[in-house]
Amino acid sequence: METPPIVSRDEWLAARKELLAKEKEATRARDAVTAQRRALPMVEVDKDYVFEGPDGKARLIDMFEGRRQLMTYHFMWMHDSDVGCTSCSFLVDNVGDVRHLNSADTTLALVSRAPIANIERFRQRMGWTLPFYSSHDNDFNYDFHVTADEDIVAPSQYNYMDKATLESKGIGFFVGKGQDAHGLSVFLRDGNRVFHTYSTYGRGPDLLLTTYNYLDLTPLGRQRYVNEFPHHDTYETGAPAEHCH
């Protein structure tokens, strides 16, 4: 990988100040988008989803754990090999101490379409403590467009694009029958009522990839795509990452 040119300290300072102006502009733009995101209207969730968790059955409202906000990460499952997707695993590995989120009245949970026994086996292998639920027996994945099956929800879509648009971009696999994808959905609770406020897909959850946020500050950058990071317990073995797509 090519490294930056070598210059004098004065030349570096001039280039750094030019970049700083652009960084400030990007920060202000991000603040504006964040404010617009908070102001999005919301939709009441009227379907009674029942999940399987490590402690048994749980409804969507139970997943809040008494807090006002719930963030659910739609975790892809590699059904052929019966393990969690490497890209999604990389994201979960980047999650820090959720007590800070919890103190802000917010719960973070993982949801996957795999059976709960398979999820628990994998969660223990990875050493994760985040709550991880199975949507194997409900329509949650389909209704939030992270699993495609036109016999259940039609027409198929992913990242707010229809099937034809996705196929024209060469990413039609996102709407293949039974194909899981990733995403993040946010909910707000008002008493016993639950509202869907936001969902993001594709590169939207990149904000959660703190490894990338660190590497973006370095001259060598990210160095590899998110699906090229293997499960963290395979680094010493040198096993290649199993691509989710």
Give the pLDDT mean for 118-129: 97
Residue 155 tokens read as 């027409």
Name which of 108, 102, 181 is nearest 141 in CA terms.
181
Residue 180: beta bridge partners? 147
**pLDDT tens, position by position, 64-89:** 999 999 999 999 999 989 999 999 99
Alpha carbon 165 to its chain centroid, in Å, reads: 22
What type of residue is 136? H
**pLDDT tens, position by position, 174-187:** 877 778 999 999 99
Burial profile 28-54: b = 16 or more Cβ within 10 angstroms, e = fewer: eeeeeeeeeeeeeeeeebeeebebbbe
Residue 87 tokens read as 């890209």
241 pLDDT tier (thresholds 50, 70, 90): low
**pLDDT tens, position by position, 13-59:** 999 999 999 999 999 999 999 999 999 999 999 999 999 998 999 99
Residue 227: predicted pLDDT: 87
**Whole-number Å distance between alpha carbons of 76 and 179:** 9
239 pLDDT tier (thresholds 50, 70, 90): low
Its sign, for the CA torsion 109, 200, 182, 232, is negative
